[in-house]
Amino acid sequence: MKRFARCMLVSLLMALGLTASPAGAADDEALVSSLRQLNEGSFDDKAAAVRTIAESGHPRAVPVLQALLDSRLYFRIGGGEIVIADSLDSGFAVTDPLSGERVGEASQYEIRRVSINNAVRTEARKMLALAGLSSPDRQARSEAVERLLESPDPAIAERMEGLVAEEPVDAIRRDMSLVIGLARLDAPKAAIRLEALETLDGSLRNRVRNEVRRLAENDPDPAVQARAAEILTGIEERRDLWGLGEQIFFGLSAGSVLMLAAFGLAITFGVMGVINMAHGELIMLGAYTTYVVQLLMPNAIDYSLFVAIPAAFLVTGAFGVAIERGVIRFLYGRPLETLLATFGISLILQQLVRTVFSPLNRQVSTPDWMSGAIEVNAALSLTLNRLYVIAFAFLVFGLLLLLFKRTTLGLKVRAVSQNRAMARAVGVSSSRIDALTFGLGAGVAGLAGVALSQITNVGPNMGQAYIIDSFLVVVFGGAGSLWGTLVGGLSLGVLNKFLEPETGAVLAKVLVLVFVILFIQRRPQGLFPQRGRAASEG
């Protein structure tokens, strides 16, 4: 009995294999036939072959169409056999389009690329997108809808109607409705166009706005034209509102950079009364330290910033201590000589960098976790590198507050800044505090250089672009006040970004300078006045 059952099972499996094999062979034969048409037919025939391949349901249909779009679909010169080929140093690696398995190599004289035009390429993108709509992966469906939004097609829209109700993700479902609406804007009946416009109402996408504007200007039906104009007005108002948010974001990011650059200057100028014209070059040294760290760890770029941040602080801090001990301590109470001496130091540091790294700008790589953007909607995207710079600026601000309010060093620094003679009388070494304070300000400037390396190129002159703005922030916020530097940096950054679109970058800076001058005429001590005396008063 067991033997009989075993024989029956084997017979059943063989029967299933015999019945499945011809079907699989038929599918493969149909795919091969369509592939030949991609090579032998006209461009219209090729577009039809693309549709046939996509509708075949063959498991290799999507990889084949993707290879066609990537210009990796070739045919053998001898027999016309279609293959997928990937470039090698000595030729091409050849893959069988039916099995996906590598079947050898070929030289450039044995195969030729399958030629297609833009119409065939557009059809392949549509078919790939339509296939992606049935994917269980959310990201694949989202990317498929994005591709269809670029070139909506009425035929594709009809197929999508049944998929909209089944889509579980609201955002993808809304985008699918947009594809259907865009595809019906050219319908012959005005009622259908009006219905399509209602689907598009409120969307912020550029494609939707352009198509709605086209109907508002050129549609032959007055009712459609009037409704399109009304929807276009609403879209423009919403885009203007989100554009305001984008300006605020870019203003905050620019202000956070100013804030970082000005923190070190606020410390040295507010506590010691030293006008340090080499502050911009200390920012530059911090950026070059980031560049060197990435050179030393080329295979760990994602972790390089975690090494570059303390390294830049220590390197620029050491330069700051050396500058204070070697030059500035001999010039306390002589502001003009201090200004000239630090200006000379800035020129020396610039030339040192040019000698070591050359005058050319250097590109610092952005880690993968800082790349990309958070897309709030079609009108507003927040770039990750600027978001991280803003967060880093506030982190530095918090650490400096803790340092000055909760540590012995901070207590001594505040004592020296408020009354140098009394601090000396109670045993505080003012000369040591001066060196540490200048080193701290220089180290914070180095941190600003690390942040700047992620949003701009690194070069010998990069610090010069921030030295004047840093002084403006310090004067506006109040010398020696961290809170003043925070508010001043963010305020001037946002103000500058709002002025730039209207006046241009140069005139915007001039207007900001005029605003600061007028402000300090009424409030010479800045937003947050700091009580105490400068170093020269000791």
State how many domains the chain has: 3
| Domain assignment of residue 53, yes or no | yes
Are 466 and 261 in contact by the 8 Å Cβ rule? The answer is yes
CA distances from 238 to 244, 490, 506, 536 (A): 10, 25, 29, 55
| Domain assignment of residue 24, yes or no | no
Domain shared by 443 and 406, yes or no? yes
Are 421 and 538 in contact by the 8 Å Cβ rule? The answer is yes
How far is it, in rounded angstroms, from Cα 455 to Cα 263? 19
How far is it, in rounded angstroms, from Cα 533 to Cα 538? 8
Q: Give the 3-state secondary structure of 113-180.
A: ECCCCHHHHHHHHHHHHHHHCCCCCHHHHHHHHHHHHHCCCHHHHHHHHHHHCCCCCHHHHHHHHHHH
Longest dimension (CA), the chain: 112
How far is it, in rounded angstroms, from Cα 153 to Cα 156? 5
| Domain assignment of residue 127, yes or no | yes
Residues 245-265, buried b or exposed e (16+ Cβ, 10 A)? ebeebbbbbbbbbbbbbbbbb
Closest CA to 525 of 492, 477, 482: 477
Domain shared by 118 and 151, yes or no? no
| Domain assignment of residue 195, yes or no | yes
| Domain assignment of residue 463, yes or no | yes
Domain shared by 288 and 425, yes or no? yes
* Pairing relationship of beta strands 82-88 and 91-95 according to DSSP bridges: antiparallel
Domain shared by 447 and 510, yes or no? yes
What is the model's pLDDT at position 533? 44
What is the model's pLDDT at position 531? 58
Burial (CB count within 10 angstroms: exposed 0-12, middle 13-18, buried 19+), residue 220? exposed
Name, in order, each residue with C-beta under 8 angstroms of 410's C-beta and a sequence gap of 6 or more. Answer: 403, 404
How far is it, in rounded angstroms, from Cα 252 to Cα 72? 45
What is the model's pLDDT at position 467? 85
- Decide: helix, strand or coil at residue 358: coil
Which structural domain, as residue segments, surrounds residue 253?
245-356+388-537
Question: Residue 91 forms beta bridges with which residues?
Answer: 88
Question: Helix 222-272 and helix 279-296: axis angle, to 10°?
Answer: 110
Specify the amino acid at residue 334. R
pLDDT digits over 189-222, tens only? 889 889 889 888 888 888 889 889 998 888 888 8
| Domain assignment of residue 149, yes or no | yes
Domain shared by 401 and 483, yes or no? yes
- Decide: helix, strand or coil at residue 376: strand
| Domain assignment of residue 15, yes or no | no
Name, in order, each residue with C-beta under 8 angstroms of 152's C-beta and a sequence gap of 6 or more. Answer: 179, 180, 182, 183
How far is it, in rounded angstroms, from Cα 247 to Cα 287? 26
Domain shared by 215 and 116, yes or no? no
Domain shared by 117 and 141, yes or no? no
Going residue by residue through the chain (538 aa), what tens digit of pLDDT does each one get? 444 444 443 343 333 343 333 444 556 777 778 888 887 778 888 888 888 887 776 778 888 888 888 888 888 887 778 888 888 877 888 888 888 888 888 888 888 888 888 888 888 877 777 777 777 778 878 888 887 787 777 777 777 777 787 788 888 888 888 888 888 888 888 898 898 898 888 888 888 898 899 988 888 888 989 999 999 999 999 988 888 888 899 989 888 988 888 888 888 876 677 888 898 899 999 999 999 999 998 888 889 999 999 999 999 999 999 998 888 888 877 888 888 899 999 999 999 999 998 888 888 888 888 888 888 887 888 899 899 999 999 999 999 989 888 888 878 877 776 667 777 777 777 778 888 888 988 999 999 999 999 888 888 988 888 888 888 888 888 877 888 889 988 988 888 888 888 888 788 888 888 888 888 888 888 887 765 444 344 4
Domain shared by 47 and 83, yes or no? yes
| Domain assignment of residue 20, yes or no | no
Domain shared by 213 and 289, yes or no? no
Domain shared by 116 and 211, yes or no? no
Are 386 and 400 in contact by the 8 Å Cβ rule? The answer is no
Domain shared by 262 and 154, yes or no? no
Identify the domain boundary among 132, 155, 186. Answer: 132
Identify the domain boundary among 132, 167, 193. Answer: 132
Domain shared by 69 and 158, yes or no? no
